[in-house]
Amino acid sequence: MRLGAQMSAAGGLHEAFKRGHEADCDSMLVFTKSNRQWNAKPITAEDVEKVRQAAADYPQIDPVAVHASYLINVASPDETLWEKSYQALKDEVERAAAYALPLLTFHPGSHMEGDATTGLNHIGRALNRLLAETAVSAPGVTICLEVMAGQGTNLGYMFEHLAALLDSAGRSERLGVCFDTCHVFAAGYDLRSPTAYAQTLAEFDQVVGLDWIKCFHLNDSQHELGSRKDRHTHIGDGYIGLEGFAHFVNDPRWAEHPAHLETPKTEKDADGQEVDMDVENLARLRRLIEK
Ligand SMILES: [Zn+2]
């Protein structure tokens, strides 16, 4: 796997490359704007040039994937919020394209006071419009639906939801799936033993198709199998455990797939010193690789 982590873009997206290099990332995940705000400053030619230069300076960090804002909810039954979400999602895809970044992952959404079927229909409507409206502006960006934990009214926690969404958009090759280990586990799909891992992936293959997985989020889970709670923790410290992650990093099918940590950034050690947990979690993952 091309292991990495979510890296801060504070000070400009180009700064994330330096941080990714320092954390020894083979690839990384970034936000191109604040993940908790709707609006962003438009990207300038200077921004693009700085990122191009940073990518040239750190060619080993490849690919760089983008995560969309957490505010976006194209499953919303509120038409005003839906439109606002749709426009923000389209902007995310076009921002990724402006920076020549190949992957954009977003959370499919929550149906709120609606129901799951209607919510899935709203997401499908967004996908079709997005594919049409970004066909020229962002043809090189693969738009990935993230598997969710199923917290609250979140959709996308059942493999069947993802299959229905891909189907609703005609299985466009511009779409993909981001497989988040914490979310999948919290949604009720076991990953811990070799048998459980094989069964979960076989089920994904049957329902969705393994070829649709374009990237991974590697997070351990603070809560138990099927808890439907979305709380990430350090690799090996949660309910998935090290063995679960060993299956992923040793599976030849994922050898070239980007896989990113979204775990807490720092912890204090016994002496009260701050430890860079991305470095620690990446080391834990790499130790699991069988030579
Ligand atoms: Zn994730």
Let me know: does 108 contact 147? Beta carbons within 8 Å: no
The residue among 67, 48, 53, 58 whose CA lies nearest residue 25 is 58
User: How buried is residue 167: exposed, middle or buried, by Cβ count under 10 Å (0-12/13-18/19+)?
Assistant: exposed
Distance 46 CA to ligand 1 centre (A): 30
Let me know: does 259 contact 215? Beta carbons within 8 Å: yes
89 to 43, 95, 142, 273: CA distances (angstroms): 15, 10, 13, 39
pLDDT in tens, 98-157: 999 999 999 999 999 999 999 999 999 999 999 999 999 999 999 999 999 999 999 999
Distance 228 CA to ligand 1 centre (A): 14
Peptide bond into 194 cis (omega under 30): no
User: How buried is residue 72: exposed, middle or buried, by Cβ count under 10 Å (0-12/13-18/19+)?
Assistant: buried
Residue 198: band (very low, low, confident or very high) from pLDDT cuts 50, 70, 90: very high
Structural domains in the chain (count): 1
Distance 272 CA to ligand 1 centre (A): 29
Distance 45 CA to ligand 1 centre (A): 30
- DSSP-assigned letter for residue 154: B
Task: Say what the pLDDT of residue 291 is.
Answer: 80
Distance 257 CA to ligand 1 centre (A): 15
The residue among 124, 213, 135, 207 whose CA lies nearest residue 170 is 124
Query: Looking at residues 257-266, what average pLDDT do you find?
Result: 97
Range of the domain at 77: 2-287
CATH code assigned at 40: 3.20.20.150
Residue 203: band (very low, low, confident or very high) from pLDDT cuts 50, 70, 90: very high
Averaged confidence pLDDT in the chain: 97
The residue among 85, 84, 98 whose CA lies nearest residue 141 is 98
Question: pTM score > 0.95 for this model?
Answer: yes
